Chain A
Amino acid sequence: MSGVFSPTRAKIKERTLRTDKWWLQPAITFGVLFSFVIYATFRAFENKYYFSEPLISPFYSPCLSTSCEPGSALAFFGQPFNNQYFGIGISPALFILIFPLGFRMTCYYYRKAYYRAFWMSPPACAVAEPHTKYTGETRAPLILQNSHRWFFYAGLIFNVILTWDVILAFRNEDKQWGHMSVGTLVFLFSTTMLWLYSLSCHTCRHTLGGRLKHFSKHPVRYKAWTIVSALNHKHPTFAWISLFGVAGADIYVRAVASGAITNFYFF
Protein backbone atom coordinates (compact mmCIF):
# COMPACT_ATOMS: atom_id res chain seq x y z
CA MET A 1 0.00 0.00 0.00
CA SER A 2 1.58 3.24 -1.08
CA GLY A 3 0.63 6.79 -1.85
CA VAL A 4 -2.61 8.05 -0.35
CA PHE A 5 -3.21 4.59 1.08
CA SER A 6 0.08 4.54 3.00
CA PRO A 7 -0.27 3.32 6.59
CA THR A 8 0.40 6.69 8.26
CA ARG A 9 -1.97 8.74 6.17
CA ALA A 10 -5.64 9.44 6.80
CA LYS A 11 -7.66 6.27 6.22
CA ILE A 12 -9.79 7.20 3.24
CA LYS A 13 -10.71 4.46 0.81
CA GLU A 14 -11.55 6.66 -2.18
CA ARG A 15 -8.79 7.46 -4.68
CA THR A 16 -10.15 10.99 -4.76
CA LEU A 17 -12.92 12.92 -3.08
CA ARG A 18 -13.19 15.44 -5.87
CA THR A 19 -16.78 16.05 -6.86
CA ASP A 20 -16.19 18.09 -10.01
CA LYS A 21 -15.80 16.64 -13.50
CA TRP A 22 -12.04 16.17 -13.15
CA TRP A 23 -12.08 13.43 -15.80
CA LEU A 24 -13.49 15.67 -18.51
CA GLN A 25 -10.34 17.56 -19.44
CA PRO A 26 -8.08 14.50 -19.73
CA ALA A 27 -10.84 12.69 -21.64
CA ILE A 28 -11.10 15.53 -24.17
CA THR A 29 -7.32 15.75 -24.42
CA PHE A 30 -7.10 12.03 -25.02
CA GLY A 31 -9.80 12.13 -27.68
CA VAL A 32 -8.30 15.06 -29.58
CA LEU A 33 -4.67 13.94 -29.42
CA PHE A 34 -5.53 10.35 -30.27
CA SER A 35 -7.60 11.49 -33.25
CA PHE A 36 -4.72 13.66 -34.43
CA VAL A 37 -2.24 10.81 -34.12
CA ILE A 38 -4.51 8.49 -36.11
CA TYR A 39 -5.10 11.11 -38.79
CA ALA A 40 -1.42 12.13 -39.00
CA THR A 41 -0.33 8.50 -39.25
CA PHE A 42 -2.84 7.85 -42.02
CA ARG A 43 -1.72 10.92 -43.92
CA ALA A 44 1.98 10.22 -43.43
CA PHE A 45 1.59 6.82 -45.05
CA GLU A 46 -1.01 7.77 -47.64
CA ASN A 47 1.64 9.33 -49.90
CA LYS A 48 -0.78 11.10 -52.23
CA TYR A 49 -3.02 14.16 -52.38
CA TYR A 50 -0.38 16.30 -50.66
CA PHE A 51 0.35 18.77 -53.43
CA SER A 52 -1.76 20.93 -55.64
CA GLU A 53 0.05 23.90 -57.14
CA PRO A 54 0.81 26.16 -55.28
CA LEU A 55 -0.17 24.37 -52.08
CA ILE A 56 1.83 21.64 -50.36
CA SER A 57 0.64 19.94 -47.20
CA PRO A 58 2.65 20.88 -44.09
CA PHE A 59 2.94 17.15 -43.39
CA TYR A 60 5.04 16.79 -46.57
CA SER A 61 6.94 20.07 -46.64
CA PRO A 62 9.78 20.16 -47.48
CA CYS A 63 9.35 17.25 -49.85
CA LEU A 64 12.76 15.58 -49.96
CA SER A 65 12.19 12.29 -51.75
CA THR A 66 12.67 11.32 -55.38
CA SER A 67 9.04 10.22 -55.32
CA CYS A 68 7.76 13.75 -54.59
CA GLU A 69 5.08 14.95 -56.94
CA PRO A 70 6.47 17.15 -59.73
CA GLY A 71 6.82 20.74 -58.58
CA SER A 72 6.41 19.95 -54.89
CA ALA A 73 10.11 19.83 -53.95
CA LEU A 74 12.09 22.96 -53.15
CA ALA A 75 15.20 23.45 -55.28
CA PHE A 76 17.13 24.66 -52.23
CA PHE A 77 16.93 21.25 -50.56
CA GLY A 78 16.79 19.06 -53.66
CA GLN A 79 15.51 15.51 -53.33
CA PRO A 80 18.22 13.67 -51.38
CA PHE A 81 16.16 10.65 -50.34
CA ASN A 82 15.09 7.70 -52.45
CA ASN A 83 11.50 6.63 -52.65
CA GLN A 84 12.35 3.25 -51.20
CA TYR A 85 14.94 1.64 -48.96
CA PHE A 86 15.53 -2.10 -48.62
CA GLY A 87 12.72 -2.65 -51.08
CA ILE A 88 10.21 -0.82 -48.92
CA GLY A 89 8.50 2.23 -50.32
CA ILE A 90 8.74 5.22 -47.97
CA SER A 91 6.40 8.17 -47.98
CA PRO A 92 8.19 11.55 -48.19
CA ALA A 93 6.41 12.62 -45.01
CA LEU A 94 8.30 10.01 -43.01
CA PHE A 95 11.62 11.75 -43.64
CA ILE A 96 10.54 14.94 -41.92
CA LEU A 97 7.69 14.28 -39.50
CA ILE A 98 10.02 13.26 -36.67
CA PHE A 99 10.99 16.91 -36.23
CA PRO A 100 7.59 18.55 -35.69
CA LEU A 101 6.42 15.42 -33.92
CA GLY A 102 9.47 15.46 -31.64
CA PHE A 103 8.93 19.15 -30.92
CA ARG A 104 5.39 18.52 -29.77
CA MET A 105 6.18 15.28 -27.95
CA THR A 106 8.85 16.96 -25.83
CA CYS A 107 6.94 20.25 -25.40
CA TYR A 108 6.47 21.14 -21.75
CA TYR A 109 2.78 21.81 -22.29
CA TYR A 110 2.05 18.62 -24.22
CA ARG A 111 3.94 16.64 -21.64
CA LYS A 112 1.46 17.83 -19.04
CA ALA A 113 -1.42 17.02 -21.39
CA TYR A 114 -0.43 13.51 -22.33
CA TYR A 115 1.02 12.50 -18.98
CA ARG A 116 -2.40 13.24 -17.59
CA ALA A 117 -4.59 12.00 -20.43
CA PHE A 118 -2.68 8.97 -21.69
CA TRP A 119 -0.48 7.82 -18.84
CA MET A 120 -2.71 9.00 -15.99
CA SER A 121 0.30 10.17 -14.09
CA PRO A 122 -1.78 11.65 -12.53
CA PRO A 123 -5.12 11.74 -14.37
CA ALA A 124 -5.93 15.00 -12.56
CA CYS A 125 -4.70 16.91 -9.55
CA ALA A 126 -5.32 15.10 -6.26
CA VAL A 127 -6.60 12.04 -8.08
CA ALA A 128 -4.49 9.01 -7.24
CA GLU A 129 -2.64 7.55 -10.17
CA PRO A 130 -2.84 3.81 -10.89
CA HIS A 131 0.93 3.20 -11.11
CA THR A 132 2.80 1.54 -8.29
CA LYS A 133 6.18 2.95 -9.26
CA TYR A 134 7.30 6.32 -10.56
CA THR A 135 10.69 7.61 -11.66
CA GLY A 136 9.60 10.61 -13.70
CA GLU A 137 11.99 11.93 -16.31
CA THR A 138 15.12 10.60 -14.66
CA ARG A 139 15.79 7.58 -16.86
CA ALA A 140 15.20 6.25 -20.36
CA PRO A 141 13.07 6.79 -22.26
CA LEU A 142 11.64 9.88 -20.56
CA ILE A 143 15.05 11.40 -19.94
CA LEU A 144 14.97 12.11 -23.68
CA GLN A 145 12.46 14.86 -22.90
CA ASN A 146 15.58 16.93 -22.24
CA SER A 147 16.14 17.03 -26.00
CA HIS A 148 13.31 19.54 -26.38
CA ARG A 149 15.62 22.41 -27.33
CA TRP A 150 17.01 20.50 -30.31
CA PHE A 151 13.54 19.90 -31.63
CA PHE A 152 12.81 23.56 -30.98
CA TYR A 153 15.73 24.59 -33.18
CA ALA A 154 14.59 22.13 -35.88
CA GLY A 155 11.05 23.46 -35.53
CA LEU A 156 12.27 26.98 -36.26
CA ILE A 157 13.80 25.76 -39.52
CA PHE A 158 10.51 24.12 -40.41
CA ASN A 159 8.68 27.33 -39.61
CA VAL A 160 10.91 29.17 -42.09
CA ILE A 161 10.16 26.53 -44.73
CA LEU A 162 6.43 26.71 -44.07
CA THR A 163 6.61 30.50 -44.22
CA TRP A 164 8.17 30.13 -47.66
CA ASP A 165 5.23 27.86 -48.55
CA VAL A 166 2.89 30.67 -47.52
CA ILE A 167 4.75 33.07 -49.79
CA LEU A 168 4.49 30.58 -52.65
CA ALA A 169 0.76 30.36 -51.97
CA PHE A 170 0.48 33.93 -53.25
CA ARG A 171 0.91 32.45 -56.72
CA ASN A 172 -1.75 30.88 -58.87
CA GLU A 173 -1.74 27.42 -60.44
CA ASP A 174 0.38 28.75 -63.33
CA LYS A 175 3.00 30.02 -60.86
CA GLN A 176 2.15 33.66 -61.49
CA TRP A 177 2.61 35.98 -58.50
CA GLY A 178 0.09 38.36 -57.04
CA HIS A 179 -2.81 35.99 -56.41
CA MET A 180 -4.57 34.93 -53.29
CA SER A 181 -6.84 32.00 -52.58
CA VAL A 182 -8.61 30.38 -49.67
CA GLY A 183 -5.57 28.10 -49.48
CA THR A 184 -3.35 31.16 -48.97
CA LEU A 185 -5.40 32.17 -45.94
CA VAL A 186 -5.42 28.63 -44.56
CA PHE A 187 -1.63 28.48 -44.85
CA LEU A 188 -1.20 31.98 -43.46
CA PHE A 189 -3.25 31.10 -40.39
CA SER A 190 -1.56 27.75 -39.87
CA THR A 191 1.96 29.10 -40.16
CA THR A 192 1.27 32.15 -38.00
CA MET A 193 0.00 29.86 -35.27
CA LEU A 194 3.09 27.68 -35.62
CA TRP A 195 5.32 30.71 -35.15
CA LEU A 196 3.35 31.79 -32.09
CA TYR A 197 3.52 28.27 -30.70
CA SER A 198 7.30 28.15 -31.24
CA LEU A 199 8.02 31.65 -29.96
CA SER A 200 5.93 31.13 -26.83
CA CYS A 201 7.85 27.93 -26.05
CA HIS A 202 9.57 27.62 -22.67
CA THR A 203 12.84 26.76 -24.37
CA CYS A 204 12.61 29.90 -26.49
CA ARG A 205 12.02 31.89 -23.31
CA HIS A 206 15.05 30.31 -21.70
CA THR A 207 17.29 30.73 -24.73
CA LEU A 208 16.45 34.39 -25.25
CA GLY A 209 16.92 35.50 -21.67
CA GLY A 210 15.76 33.01 -19.09
CA ARG A 211 19.22 31.60 -18.52
CA LEU A 212 20.59 35.02 -17.53
CA LYS A 213 21.30 35.99 -13.95
CA HIS A 214 21.68 39.67 -14.68
CA PHE A 215 18.91 41.06 -16.85
CA SER A 216 20.24 44.58 -16.27
CA LYS A 217 23.42 43.73 -18.17
CA HIS A 218 21.48 42.46 -21.19
CA PRO A 219 18.63 44.94 -21.83
CA VAL A 220 17.84 43.65 -25.34
CA ARG A 221 17.63 40.05 -24.21
CA TYR A 222 15.61 41.14 -21.19
CA LYS A 223 13.13 42.89 -23.48
CA ALA A 224 12.91 39.80 -25.68
CA TRP A 225 12.40 37.67 -22.57
CA THR A 226 9.54 39.85 -21.37
CA ILE A 227 7.81 39.61 -24.75
CA VAL A 228 8.22 35.84 -24.91
CA SER A 229 7.12 35.58 -21.27
CA ALA A 230 3.87 37.32 -22.20
CA LEU A 231 3.40 34.92 -25.10
CA ASN A 232 4.34 32.02 -22.85
CA HIS A 233 1.14 32.57 -20.83
CA LYS A 234 -0.76 31.55 -23.97
CA HIS A 235 1.48 28.64 -24.88
CA PRO A 236 -1.19 25.96 -24.30
CA THR A 237 -3.65 27.90 -26.45
CA PHE A 238 -1.12 28.25 -29.25
CA ALA A 239 -0.27 24.56 -28.90
CA TRP A 240 -3.85 23.54 -29.58
CA ILE A 241 -4.66 26.12 -32.23
CA SER A 242 -1.48 25.38 -34.15
CA LEU A 243 -2.25 21.66 -34.00
CA PHE A 244 -5.69 22.30 -35.47
CA GLY A 245 -4.15 24.74 -37.93
CA VAL A 246 -1.68 22.22 -39.30
CA ALA A 247 -4.32 19.50 -39.50
CA GLY A 248 -6.69 21.96 -41.15
CA ALA A 249 -4.08 22.97 -43.72
CA ASP A 250 -3.43 19.32 -44.55
CA ILE A 251 -7.12 18.51 -44.79
CA TYR A 252 -7.60 21.48 -47.10
CA VAL A 253 -4.71 20.49 -49.37
CA ARG A 254 -5.95 16.91 -49.48
CA ALA A 255 -9.43 18.06 -50.41
CA VAL A 256 -8.06 20.28 -53.19
CA ALA A 257 -5.52 17.72 -54.46
CA SER A 258 -8.05 14.92 -54.54
CA GLY A 259 -10.49 17.07 -56.48
CA ALA A 260 -13.11 17.11 -53.74
CA ILE A 261 -13.11 20.93 -53.73
CA THR A 262 -11.65 23.72 -55.83
CA ASN A 263 -9.21 26.19 -54.32
CA PHE A 264 -11.16 29.43 -54.69
CA TYR A 265 -9.10 32.47 -55.77
CA PHE A 266 -10.05 35.92 -54.49
CA PHE A 267 -7.86 37.53 -57.13
Chain B
Amino acid sequence: MARMINLRIWRGDSKEGGLQDVQVEANEGEVVLDVIHRVQATQMGDLAVRWNCKAGKCGSCSMEINGKPRLACMTQVAAYGDEETITVTPLRAFPVIKDLVTDVSFNYKKAMEIPAYSHPDELAPGEARMEQVDVERSQEFRKCIECFLCQDTCHVIRDHEENKKSFAGPRFFIRIAELDMHPLDTLKNRKRTAQEEHGLGMCNITKCCTEVCPEHIRITDNAIIPMKERVVDIKYDPARWLGSKIRKRDGI
Protein backbone atom coordinates (compact mmCIF):
# COMPACT_ATOMS: atom_id res chain seq x y z
CA MET B 1 0.00 0.00 0.00
CA ALA B 2 1.38 3.38 -0.98
CA ARG B 3 2.12 6.03 1.60
CA MET B 4 3.62 9.48 1.59
CA ILE B 5 7.02 9.79 3.18
CA ASN B 6 9.18 12.75 4.13
CA LEU B 7 12.47 12.78 2.31
CA ARG B 8 15.27 15.26 2.90
CA ILE B 9 17.80 15.32 0.08
CA TRP B 10 21.12 17.14 0.00
CA ARG B 11 21.42 19.19 -3.15
CA GLY B 12 24.34 21.26 -4.30
CA ASP B 13 27.91 21.04 -5.47
CA SER B 14 31.39 21.53 -4.05
CA LYS B 15 30.78 25.26 -3.55
CA GLU B 16 27.40 25.33 -1.87
CA GLY B 17 24.42 23.21 -1.05
CA GLY B 18 21.90 22.18 1.55
CA LEU B 19 19.15 19.81 2.52
CA GLN B 20 15.81 20.12 0.77
CA ASP B 21 12.57 18.60 2.03
CA VAL B 22 10.18 16.80 -0.27
CA GLN B 23 7.20 14.55 0.16
CA VAL B 24 7.06 11.55 -2.10
CA GLU B 25 4.96 8.44 -2.50
CA ALA B 26 6.48 5.14 -1.44
CA ASN B 27 5.00 1.77 -2.32
CA GLU B 28 5.27 -1.37 -0.30
CA GLY B 29 8.60 -3.13 -0.77
CA GLU B 30 10.36 -0.13 -2.28
CA VAL B 31 13.88 0.86 -1.44
CA VAL B 32 15.29 4.34 -0.93
CA LEU B 33 16.68 4.41 -4.47
CA ASP B 34 13.14 3.88 -5.80
CA VAL B 35 11.81 6.94 -4.04
CA ILE B 36 14.83 8.99 -5.07
CA HIS B 37 14.06 8.05 -8.66
CA ARG B 38 10.43 9.05 -8.12
CA VAL B 39 11.55 12.44 -6.81
CA GLN B 40 13.83 12.76 -9.83
CA ALA B 41 10.95 11.90 -12.17
CA THR B 42 8.31 14.10 -10.59
CA GLN B 43 9.88 16.93 -8.60
CA MET B 44 13.61 17.38 -9.19
CA GLY B 45 14.39 16.59 -12.80
CA ASP B 46 18.01 17.61 -12.46
CA LEU B 47 18.73 15.61 -9.30
CA ALA B 48 22.05 13.80 -9.74
CA VAL B 49 22.28 10.26 -8.40
CA ARG B 50 24.68 7.49 -9.40
CA TRP B 51 23.18 4.02 -9.76
CA ASN B 52 23.37 0.99 -11.97
CA CYS B 53 22.28 -2.52 -11.04
CA LYS B 54 19.68 -1.88 -8.31
CA ALA B 55 20.59 -5.27 -6.91
CA GLY B 56 23.35 -4.51 -4.43
CA LYS B 57 26.06 -5.81 -6.70
CA CYS B 58 27.50 -2.84 -8.57
CA GLY B 59 28.25 -0.58 -5.62
CA SER B 60 27.19 2.56 -7.45
CA CYS B 61 24.39 3.94 -5.29
CA SER B 62 26.47 4.44 -2.15
CA MET B 63 25.22 7.37 -0.11
CA GLU B 64 24.45 8.23 3.49
CA ILE B 65 20.94 7.57 4.69
CA ASN B 66 20.07 9.08 8.04
CA GLY B 67 23.78 9.57 8.52
CA LYS B 68 24.78 5.97 7.86
CA PRO B 69 26.78 4.90 4.81
CA ARG B 70 24.51 2.54 2.86
CA LEU B 71 23.53 1.32 -0.57
CA ALA B 72 20.30 3.10 -1.49
CA CYS B 73 19.17 0.08 -3.49
CA MET B 74 19.46 -2.19 -0.48
CA THR B 75 17.79 0.06 2.07
CA GLN B 76 14.11 -0.61 2.54
CA VAL B 77 11.87 2.41 3.03
CA ALA B 78 9.84 0.26 5.43
CA ALA B 79 12.82 0.18 7.78
CA TYR B 80 11.93 3.74 8.74
CA GLY B 81 8.89 4.81 10.70
CA ASP B 82 5.85 6.45 9.08
CA GLU B 83 6.59 9.80 10.65
CA GLU B 84 10.33 9.58 10.26
CA THR B 85 12.11 11.81 7.80
CA ILE B 86 14.63 9.96 5.67
CA THR B 87 17.70 12.12 5.08
CA VAL B 88 19.92 11.26 2.14
CA THR B 89 23.27 12.89 1.54
CA PRO B 90 26.30 12.16 -0.60
CA LEU B 91 29.24 10.26 0.90
CA ARG B 92 30.90 12.68 3.29
CA ALA B 93 34.46 11.39 2.96
CA PHE B 94 34.82 12.34 -0.71
CA PRO B 95 34.54 15.55 -2.72
CA VAL B 96 31.00 16.16 -3.89
CA ILE B 97 30.37 16.64 -7.62
CA LYS B 98 26.66 17.28 -7.65
CA ASP B 99 23.80 16.37 -5.32
CA LEU B 100 24.26 12.71 -4.33
CA VAL B 101 27.23 12.05 -6.60
CA THR B 102 30.74 12.18 -5.22
CA ASP B 103 34.18 11.95 -6.76
CA VAL B 104 35.55 8.59 -5.62
CA SER B 105 38.67 8.70 -7.81
CA PHE B 106 40.78 8.67 -4.64
CA ASN B 107 40.01 4.97 -4.45
CA TYR B 108 41.14 4.24 -7.99
CA LYS B 109 44.41 6.02 -7.35
CA LYS B 110 44.94 3.91 -4.26
CA ALA B 111 44.07 0.76 -6.22
CA MET B 112 46.86 1.53 -8.67
CA GLU B 113 49.36 1.78 -5.83
CA ILE B 114 48.82 -1.86 -4.79
CA PRO B 115 51.22 -4.18 -6.62
CA ALA B 116 49.34 -6.81 -8.61
CA TYR B 117 49.44 -10.58 -8.11
CA SER B 118 52.85 -11.99 -8.95
CA HIS B 119 52.77 -15.42 -10.53
CA PRO B 120 55.56 -17.96 -9.85
CA ASP B 121 58.06 -18.01 -12.70
CA GLU B 122 58.24 -21.79 -12.72
CA LEU B 123 54.52 -22.20 -13.39
CA ALA B 124 53.33 -21.70 -16.94
CA PRO B 125 49.80 -20.38 -17.50
CA GLY B 126 47.35 -23.17 -16.77
CA GLU B 127 49.72 -25.11 -14.55
CA ALA B 128 48.77 -23.45 -11.29
CA ARG B 129 46.95 -25.75 -8.86
CA MET B 130 45.57 -24.70 -5.49
CA GLU B 131 43.49 -26.48 -2.90
CA GLN B 132 40.23 -24.97 -1.78
CA VAL B 133 41.36 -24.54 1.83
CA ASP B 134 44.26 -22.43 0.59
CA VAL B 135 42.14 -19.98 -1.37
CA GLU B 136 38.93 -19.66 0.60
CA ARG B 137 40.28 -16.94 2.86
CA SER B 138 41.10 -14.82 -0.16
CA GLN B 139 37.77 -15.62 -1.78
CA GLU B 140 35.89 -13.80 0.97
CA PHE B 141 37.64 -10.61 -0.05
CA ARG B 142 36.74 -11.14 -3.70
CA LYS B 143 33.11 -10.49 -2.77
CA CYS B 144 33.96 -6.79 -2.55
CA ILE B 145 31.74 -4.75 -4.90
CA GLU B 146 33.79 -1.58 -4.49
CA CYS B 147 30.95 0.49 -3.15
CA PHE B 148 33.55 2.31 -1.01
CA LEU B 149 31.23 2.51 1.98
CA CYS B 150 34.09 1.21 4.10
CA GLN B 151 36.33 3.96 2.78
CA ASP B 152 33.62 6.50 3.46
CA THR B 153 33.06 5.50 7.05
CA CYS B 154 36.73 5.09 7.96
CA HIS B 155 37.48 8.00 10.25
CA VAL B 156 41.16 7.99 9.29
CA ILE B 157 40.29 9.72 6.03
CA ARG B 158 36.70 10.79 6.70
CA ASP B 159 37.80 13.01 9.58
CA HIS B 160 41.32 13.77 8.39
CA GLU B 161 41.65 14.82 4.77
CA GLU B 162 45.40 15.10 5.19
CA ASN B 163 45.68 11.34 5.76
CA LYS B 164 44.52 10.50 2.27
CA LYS B 165 48.08 10.75 1.01
CA SER B 166 49.39 8.02 3.28
CA PHE B 167 46.38 5.79 3.95
CA ALA B 168 44.96 3.30 1.47
CA GLY B 169 41.85 2.44 3.48
CA PRO B 170 40.02 -0.78 4.37
CA ARG B 171 39.01 -1.67 0.81
CA PHE B 172 42.67 -1.87 -0.14
CA PHE B 173 43.75 -3.58 3.04
CA ILE B 174 41.52 -6.48 2.03
CA ARG B 175 43.16 -6.40 -1.38
CA ILE B 176 46.59 -6.54 0.21
CA ALA B 177 45.46 -9.30 2.57
CA GLU B 178 43.97 -11.25 -0.32
CA LEU B 179 47.29 -11.18 -2.13
CA ASP B 180 49.44 -11.79 0.93
CA MET B 181 47.33 -14.85 1.80
CA HIS B 182 47.32 -16.07 -1.79
CA PRO B 183 49.18 -19.40 -1.88
CA LEU B 184 50.93 -18.67 -5.15
CA ASP B 185 51.69 -14.97 -4.92
CA THR B 186 55.45 -14.53 -4.91
CA LEU B 187 55.82 -10.82 -4.27
CA LYS B 188 57.90 -10.16 -1.18
CA ASN B 189 57.43 -7.24 1.17
CA ARG B 190 53.65 -6.94 0.95
CA LYS B 191 53.52 -6.83 4.73
CA ARG B 192 56.20 -4.19 5.03
CA THR B 193 54.70 -1.96 2.34
CA ALA B 194 51.25 -2.40 3.87
CA GLN B 195 52.62 -0.85 7.04
CA GLU B 196 55.09 1.64 5.64
CA GLU B 197 53.43 2.79 2.42
CA HIS B 198 49.74 2.03 2.66
CA GLY B 199 49.16 3.16 6.24
CA LEU B 200 48.03 -0.07 7.88
CA GLY B 201 49.36 1.21 11.21
CA MET B 202 46.97 4.14 11.10
CA CYS B 203 43.98 1.84 11.42
CA ASN B 204 42.84 1.70 15.02
CA ILE B 205 40.45 -1.19 14.44
CA THR B 206 37.22 0.54 15.31
CA LYS B 207 35.46 -1.82 12.91
CA CYS B 208 33.24 0.73 11.20
CA CYS B 209 34.31 -0.69 7.84
CA THR B 210 32.99 -4.09 8.85
CA GLU B 211 29.75 -2.61 10.15
CA VAL B 212 28.86 -0.92 6.86
CA CYS B 213 30.02 -3.58 4.40
CA PRO B 214 26.96 -4.65 2.35
CA GLU B 215 28.72 -7.90 1.42
CA HIS B 216 29.30 -8.68 5.10
CA ILE B 217 33.02 -9.12 4.57
CA ARG B 218 34.67 -9.31 7.97
CA ILE B 219 37.16 -6.69 6.93
CA THR B 220 38.68 -6.05 10.32
CA ASP B 221 38.77 -9.56 11.75
CA ASN B 222 39.76 -11.40 8.58
CA ALA B 223 41.93 -8.90 6.74
CA ILE B 224 43.17 -5.94 8.75
CA ILE B 225 43.96 -7.68 12.03
CA PRO B 226 45.61 -10.68 10.33
CA MET B 227 47.71 -8.21 8.31
CA LYS B 228 48.61 -6.32 11.47
CA GLU B 229 49.71 -9.61 13.01
CA ARG B 230 51.78 -10.42 9.92
CA VAL B 231 53.39 -7.00 10.19
CA VAL B 232 54.21 -7.72 13.84
CA ASP B 233 55.89 -10.93 12.64
CA ILE B 234 58.36 -9.03 10.52
CA LYS B 235 58.70 -5.70 12.33
CA TYR B 236 57.89 -5.97 16.01
CA ASP B 237 58.61 -9.54 17.03
CA PRO B 238 62.33 -10.16 17.50
CA ALA B 239 61.78 -13.86 18.14
CA ARG B 240 59.93 -14.31 14.86
CA TRP B 241 62.48 -12.18 13.04
CA LEU B 242 65.34 -14.27 14.39
CA GLY B 243 63.51 -17.49 13.53
CA SER B 244 62.97 -16.34 9.98
CA LYS B 245 66.69 -15.55 9.64
CA ILE B 246 67.75 -18.94 10.96
CA ARG B 247 65.25 -21.05 9.10
CA LYS B 248 64.98 -18.83 6.04
CA ARG B 249 61.27 -19.43 5.79
CA ASP B 250 58.86 -16.93 4.41
CA GLY B 251 55.27 -17.65 3.58
CA ILE B 252 54.99 -21.14 4.98
Check if B158 sits within 8 Å of A126, measured CB to CB. Answer: yes
Interface check A35, CB cutoff 8 A: no
Given the interface pairs A8-B96, A10-B12, A135-B202, the reply to whether A213 lies near B225 with Cβ below 8 Å is no
Output the least CB separation between B8 and chain A (Å). Answer: 9
Q: Contacts of B181 on A, CB cut-off 8 Å?
A: 213
Check if B205 sits within 8 Å of A112, measured CB to CB. Answer: yes
Given the interface pairs A17-B89, A126-B153, A206-B226, the reply to whether A3 lies near B66 with Cβ below 8 Å is no
Which of chain A's residues 68-109 have a Cβ closer than 8 Å to chain B? Answer: 108
Check if B233 sits within 8 Å of A10, measured CB to CB. Answer: no
Q: Contacts of A10 on B, CB cut-off 8 Å?
A: 10, 12, 17, 89-90, 92, 96, 102
Q: Contacts of B10 on A, CB cut-off 8 Å?
A: 10, 12
Who on chain B is nearest to A130 by CB? B159
Interface check A232, CB cutoff 8 A: yes
Number of chain A interface residues as a range: 35 or more
Partner of A134, one of B131, B202, B212: B202
Given the interface pairs A128-B159, A137-B203, the reply to whether A147 lies near B236 with Cβ below 8 Å is yes
Output the least CB separation between A106 and chain B (Å). Answer: 11
Who on chain B is nearest to A122 by CB? B155
Output the least CB separation between B61 and chain A (Å). Answer: 16
Q: Contacts of A136 on B, CB cut-off 8 Å?
A: 156, 199, 201-204
Interface check A167, CB cutoff 8 A: no
Q: Contacts of A20 on B, CB cut-off 8 Å?
A: 66
Output the least CB separation between B169 and chain A (Å). Answer: 12
Q: Contacts of A38 on B, CB cut-off 8 Å?
A: none
Given the interface pairs A125-B153, A212-B252, A215-B133, the reply to whether A3 lies near B158 with Cβ below 8 Å is yes
Who on chain B is nearest to A215 by CB? B133
Who on chain B is nearest to A136 by CB? B202
Check if A4 sits within 8 Å of B134, measured CB to CB. Answer: no
Q: Contacts of A206 on B, CB cut-off 8 Å?
A: 225-226, 229-230
Partner of A18, one of B68, B163, B203: B68
Output the least CB separation between B237 and chain A (Å). Answer: 7
Interface check A111, CB cutoff 8 A: yes
Check if B208 sits within 8 Å of A125, measured CB to CB. Answer: yes
Q: How far is the CA of A137 from the CA of B133 in the complex (A)?
A: 32
Q: Contacts of A131 on B, CB cut-off 8 Å?
A: 159
Given the interface pairs A126-B67, A211-B229, the reply to whether A202 lies near B206 with Cβ below 8 Å is no
Interface check A245, CB cutoff 8 A: no
Q: Contacts of B214 on A, CB cut-off 8 Å?
A: none
Interface check B87, CB cutoff 8 A: yes
Interface check B18, CB cutoff 8 A: yes
Check if B90 sits within 8 Å of A11, measured CB to CB. Answer: no
Q: How far is the CA of A3 from the CA of B205 in the complex (A)?
A: 19
Interface residues of A (CB under 8 A from B): 2-4, 6-12, 16-20, 108, 111-112, 115-116, 121-122, 125-129, 131, 133-138, 142-143, 146-149, 202-203, 205-206, 210-218, 222, 232
A-B contact pairs, 19 of them (CB 8 A): A4-B92, A10-B12, A10-B96, A11-B12, A12-B10, A17-B64, A17-B66, A17-B67, A18-B66, A19-B87, A111-B204, A126-B92, A126-B152, A138-B201, A143-B201, A205-B226, A212-B252, A214-B134, A216-B133
Please give me the 5 A-B residue pairs with the lowest Cβ-Cβ distance, nearest first.
A136-B202, A18-B67, A17-B67, A125-B208, A8-B95
